[in-house]
Amino acid sequence: MDFPGQPSGPRSAAVAPSLLRRMNQRLLLDLLFTHGPAIRPQLARDAGLSLPTVIAALNDLEEVGLVRTAGRLESPQGRPATAYEADPTAGTVVGVDIGHDWLRVLVADLAGSPVNRLDVRNTARSAGALVQLVARTVADATERADLEPSAVTHTVIGSPGVFDPERGRIRYAANLPGWQRAGLAEALKERLGAALTIDNDANLAALGEHTYGAARGARHFVFITIGTGLGLGLVLDGKLYRGLNGAAGEVGYLPIGDQVPEAQSGRPRRGVLEESLAADAVVRQAVEHGMAGSLTAESVFAAAREADPRARAAVDAVSTRLAQLVASVLAFIDPELIVIGGGIGQNLDLLEPGMRTALASITPMRPTLTVSALGNEAVVRGAVATGLTIARETVFNSLTTKSG
């Protein structure tokens, strides 16, 4: 039976081999990206395809520049055979982490291998200045990698807050002045190109840890980042969970703590928990416990490592708040793993004793905790992981369509 809008018998039979050929090509390319160089018989077994089909598909992929030979590997017959690998130079991905203090850029090839990295201080004090700084830093990073701007296949930006694609603006970014204004996405696309994705930094950090870091192999885990701000990335059944409007993980707005933030002109209000747990809360606790001078969260933790009792008391107070967040996560999500990161979270060895004590008094649940394996690279590595999925699809469609 024919259906309206579909080609009838002979035409559909003619279309099917072309589609099947592309599906086979993409399957083999994904295997090479995922598992590395392989010989044709191994690819045939892994893909469940006949050897002639694999040979034809590899020839097509090699012809358009998506696959290349990679020396020789041992074959089941004991004789060396030609190995093939996905050509990592067929595209480029740029990951960007926009933080309150630092702007980090990572340039990677299609295999995810770093090509160049550039970190600069975030000196911007307006959204317009920050857009310019992002564009200039990305341009510098790609230039130092000997790449033309046109060589960038896809760029992924990690930012505090939640990106609203309908309005082209970011919500809840209380720690970046003016960053929630309308037209932000258009301004970034104008400077960086239309092939751009904007995502929450905690979500990208969770993906980074899941792909390259401490949560590899975990199916249900939570990434908590604590620094200038507070955020959470949630992976359920191996996939990032965003919620209805992308705001899942905005735990800074949990009603935990005793510091109700004051509204600031032109900025969204900070959440109660963020006010009680982020970097300025560490400094406030240190002052309340008798420390003086020009303090930062970093200096307080450094003093705590030197056994300063005032700094230790400040860290314990922050640990109690963090335990309340972890207890909430355990009750609602029951994850197999909680990864702690960010400038403050990287001090998990100092925070954990106080957290364990507080947790013992408020919940019978006991979490598995670990510190971020990627440190300050978590967001850019997650941005690259996200960009790779998009860029590989883009490059495959572009090159195979041209050849077809």
| pLDDT tens-digit map of 200-257 | 999 999 999 999 999 999 999 999 999 999 999 999 999 999 999 899 999 999 999 8
pLDDT tens profile 274-307: 999 999 999 999 999 999 999 999 999 999 999 9
Q: Which residues contact 252 (CB under 8 A, 6 or more apart)?
A: 229, 230, 231, 270, 271, 273, 274, 277, 278
pTM of the prediction? 0.90
**Side chain identity at residue 16, one-letter code:** A
Domain ranges for the chain: 9-86, 90-204+379-401, 214-372
Site of tokens 């392989």: 38
Give the pLDDT score at 182: 78
Whether 2 has a pLDDT exceeding 50, the answer reads no
Burial 208-219 (b: 16+ CB within 10 A, else e): bbbbbbbbeebe
pLDDT at 3: 32
Count CB neighbours of 63 within 10 A.
Answer: 12
- C-alpha 209/C-alpha 385 separation (Å) is 10
Architecture of domain 214-372: 2-Layer Sandwich (3.30)
Give 275's contacts (C-beta < 8 A, 6+ positions apart): 257, 259, 260, 261, 281
Distance CA 95, CA 402 (A): 28
Element (H, E) at 58: helix 51-63
CATH of domain 9-86: 1.10.10.10
Superfamily of domain 90-204+379-401: ATPase, nucleotide binding domain (3.30.420.40)
- The DSSP secondary structure of 149-183, one letter per residue, reads GGG--EEEEEESSEEETTTTEEES-TTSTTTT-TT
Sign of the CA dihedral 384, 385, 387, 391?
Answer: positive
Q: Which residue has the tokens 């003016």?
A: 178
Spatial strand order of the sheet with 38-39 comes to 38-39, 80-86, 67-74
Hey, do 9-86 and 214-372 end up sharing a CATH topology, with the first three levels equal? Answer: no
Q: How many residues can be counted in the chain?
A: 404
Strands 196-200 and 154-159: parallel
Res 267: pLDDT: 63
Percent over 90 (pLDDT), the chain = 78
> What average pLDDT does this structure show over 306-323?
96
With tokens 């860290």, the residue in question is 315
pLDDT band of 14, cuts 50, 70, 90? very low
